């Protein structure tokens, strides 16, 4: 497994973690959800973007071989 593959897997797992955290927070509701729902969404979107960029880099690298 290359370093790029490991980083992509880490980004995908982190995205899933942010998604799960947001879902749990939303399910519980209350003050915690009101304060942190935006942070969970921002983290999820940012991590998704990172994973997408890393996948594009991996495709470019694979295409040059």
Distance CA 44, CA 7 (A): 16
Residue 1 has pLDDT above 90, yes or no: no
Predicted model pTM: 0.86
Backbone Cα Rg of the chain: 15
Which residues have C-beta within 8 Å of that of residue 36, sequence separation ≥ 6? 25
Residue 38 · residue 12 · CB < 8 Å: no
Residue 15 · residue 48 · CB < 8 Å: yes
Q: Which two tokens stand for residue 8?
A: 């992509």
- Domain extent, residue 25, equals 3-63
Tell me, what's the pLDDT at 58?
Answer: 94
Tell me, what's the pLDDT at 24?
Answer: 95
Tell me, what's the pLDDT at 65?
Answer: 80
Question: Per residue in 12-52, pLDDT tens?
Answer: 999 999 999 999 999 998 999 999 999 999 999 999 999 99
What's the domain count of the chain?
Answer: 1
């Amino acid at each position: 497994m290359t370093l790029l593959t490991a980083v992509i897997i880490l980004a995908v797992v982190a995205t899933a973690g942010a998604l799960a955290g947001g879902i749990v927070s939303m399910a519980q509701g209350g003050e915690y959800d009101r304060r942190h729902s935006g942070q969970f969404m921002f983290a999820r979107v940012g991590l998704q973007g990172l994973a997408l960029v890393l996948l594009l880099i991996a495709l470019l690298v694979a295409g040059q071989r």
